[in-house]
């Protein structure tokens, strides 16, 4: 499995709009086992995204999906910066969707 833990900062006042775009864009991504968008309660502009994919290739392929391309286009102007991005190797747990649609 392939995991990502990232933190981004939205443009002031645009966090909710950015979150809505992220959630909309993340529907129906093949190989995506978990994708969680969270607010940072300590910072009104910060967003945490945690992802689990069945492989790095699935994650890479998702970036070419029309819905994801659209989300990137709409979301970009609302992002002030990327603060942190960590690649992980998930090994187990709960809430990992079975892989479908491949």
Asked if 101 touches a copy of itself (CB under 8 A), the answer is: no
Count of positions on this chain that bind a copy of itself (CB under 8 A) = 32
The reply on whether position 94 binds a copy of itself by CB under 8 A is: yes
Query: Nearest distance from residue 82's CB to a copy of itself, in Å?
Result: 16
Q: Verify binding: residue 83, a copy of itself, rule CB under 8 A.
A: no
3-state secondary structure of 100: coil
CB of 91 to a copy of itself, least distance (A): 6
By residue count, the chain amounts to: 102
Contact, 76 vs 11, CB < 8 A? no
Smallest Cα–Cα separation from 63: which of 31, 19, 95, 20?
Answer: 31
The region, left, alpha or beta by phi > 0 then psi within -120 to 50, assigned to residue 39 is: beta
38 binds a copy of itself (CB under 8 A): yes
Q: Which residues bind a copy of itself (CB under 8 A)?
A: 1, 3, 5, 19, 23, 26, 32-42, 48, 50, 52, 86-97
């Amino acid at each position: 499995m392939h995991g990502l833990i990232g933190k981004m900062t939205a443009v002031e006042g645009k966090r909710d709009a950015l979150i809505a775009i992220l959630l909309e864009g993340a529907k129906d991504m093949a190989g995506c086992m978990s994708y969680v968008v969270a607010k940072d309660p300590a910072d009104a502009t910060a967003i945490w995204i945690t992802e689990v994919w069945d492989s790095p290739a699935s994650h890479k392929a998702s970036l070419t999906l029309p819905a994801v391309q659209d989300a990137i286009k709409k979301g970009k102007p609302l992002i002030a910066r990327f603060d942190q991005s960590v690649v992980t190797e998930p090994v187990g747990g709960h809430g990992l969707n079975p892989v479908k649609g491949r």
